[in-house]
Amino acid sequence: MEIHIVEDADAGATVVADVFTRTVQEAGDPGAVLGLATGSSPIPAYAELIRRHREEGLSFAGSRAFLLDEYVGLTAGHEQSYHRFIRENFIEQVDIDDAAVVSPDGAAIDPIAEAASYDRRIAEAGGVDLQILGIGSNGHIAFNEPGSSLNSRTRVVGLSRSTIQDNSRYFDSAADVPVRALSQGLGTILEARRIVLTATSAGKAAAIAQLVEGAISSRWPATVLQLHPDVVVVVDEAAGAQLQLAEDYRYARRLEIENPLDVTQG
Ligand code: F6R
């Protein structure tokens, strides 16, 4: 894992946007397959990508995207649906074709069949080149709550009490938060070729410490990312505050900047 401890959300957004930019530019034709997260964590990175699109000509033309999850029972047009969230916060402001942005259908009559077909649709697109993730205060990624199988696939999941509490800020009350979601599984997420996870604030500090330095366990689902070969973790000081080896990660990043790898040298 490559751990970046940065000053604030804006500095984090730059690091995350750099990973996106590299992936989009490397993909060439027919474009990258992006795995998109919703929630508050990726918003500064999306804002930075929108800025690069407007001011620096970064193009997402030809890219396709798959969302991580969707609430069961919400239609695409519902004001709290993730389908709508990603359009308002990212897609409508860059040049990705709206039809190329796919999310699980929360209003599907048969959510179990909807979940079962989702991994197949990702595979048919050639798999995800870059997955961006947030993390729940309980260590979930997507809606893989504690206790999730480390090899789980996209499926219908029940939301934990802490997630319903955390997400109630977007609804009138906790009672209005849907109790289920369609969520990519941990095994699905691990198939992405590159992953960048971003978190800010003290509320994420315990989950980040477990993700980076804890034992791999479904108690903290994000720990499964330790098995992935290409993960970048970007946290602010508060979210990184419980990392025991924080100074080592800072040292490693400094050394990299001071000694860039020259692949052209024989
Ligand atoms: C969102 C998602 C969730 C969030 C997590 C953190 O698509 O899958 O796992 O990333 O709940 O949410 P925020 O960023 O709002 O703190």
Would you list the DSSP string of 128-142? -SEEEE---TTS-BT
Which SS3 state, helix, strand or coil, does residue 34 take?
Answer: strand
Ligand 1-lining residues (CB < 6 angstroms): 37-41, 68-69, 82, 134-136, 140-143
State which ligand 1 atom lies nearest to the alpha carbon of 133. Answer: 10
All residues at 6 or more sequence positions from 170 whose CB lies less than 8 Å from its CB, including other chains: 80, 177
Question: What is the dotted CATH code of the domain comprising 8-194?
Answer: 3.40.50.1360
The total of other beta-carbon atoms located within 10 Å of residue 55's CB is 8
Q: Which one-letter DSSP state was computed for residue 217?
A: B
State which ligand 1 atom lies nearest to the alpha carbon of 36. Answer: 7
Which one-letter amino acid corresponds to residue 93? Q
Determine the distance separating the centroid of ligand 1 and the alpha carbon of 167, expressed in angstroms.
9
**Domain locations in the chain as residue ranges:** 8-194
State which ligand 1 atom lies nearest to the alpha carbon of 183. Answer: 8
d(CA 61, CA 46): 16
pLDDT tens for the chain, 266 residues long, are 999 999 999 999 999 999 999 999 999 888 999 999 999 999 999 999 999 999 999 999 999 999 999 999 999 999 999 999 999 999 999 999 999 999 999 999 999 999 999 999 999 999 999 999 999 999 999 999 999 999 999 999 999 999 999 999 999 999 999 999 999 999 999 999 999 999 999 999 999 999 999 999 999 999 999 999 999 999 999 999 999 999 999 999 999 999 988 877 65
pLDDT of residue 28: 81
pLDDT of residue 262: 82
d(CA 132, CA 194): 9
pLDDT of residue 265: 62
pLDDT of residue 27: 92
Which SS3 state, helix, strand or coil, does residue 66 take?
Answer: strand
CA of 24: how far to CAs of 42, 102, 129, 228, 254, in Å?
A: 17, 18, 9, 20, 26
Residue 16 is encoded by which pair of tokens? 């995350």
Determine the distance separating the centroid of ligand 1 and the alpha carbon of 38, expressed in angstroms.
6
Q: Which one-letter DSSP state was computed for residue 100?
A: G
Helices 9-27 and 43-56, packing angle to 10 deg: 60
Residue labelled with tokens 């998109």? 36
d(CA 59, CA 261): 27
Determine the distance separating the centroid of ligand 1 and the alpha carbon of 37, expressed in angstroms.
7
Q: Which of 20, 45, 9 is nearest to 192 (CA)?
A: 20
What pTM does this model have? 0.96
Residue labelled with tokens 């040049």? 95
Residues in the chain: 266
Residue 226 is encoded by which pair of tokens? 């330790």
pLDDT of residue 266: 56
pLDDT of residue 261: 86
- CB-count exposure of residue 36 (10 Å: 0-12, 13-18, 19+): buried
Active centre residues (catalytic): 69, 138, 140, 145
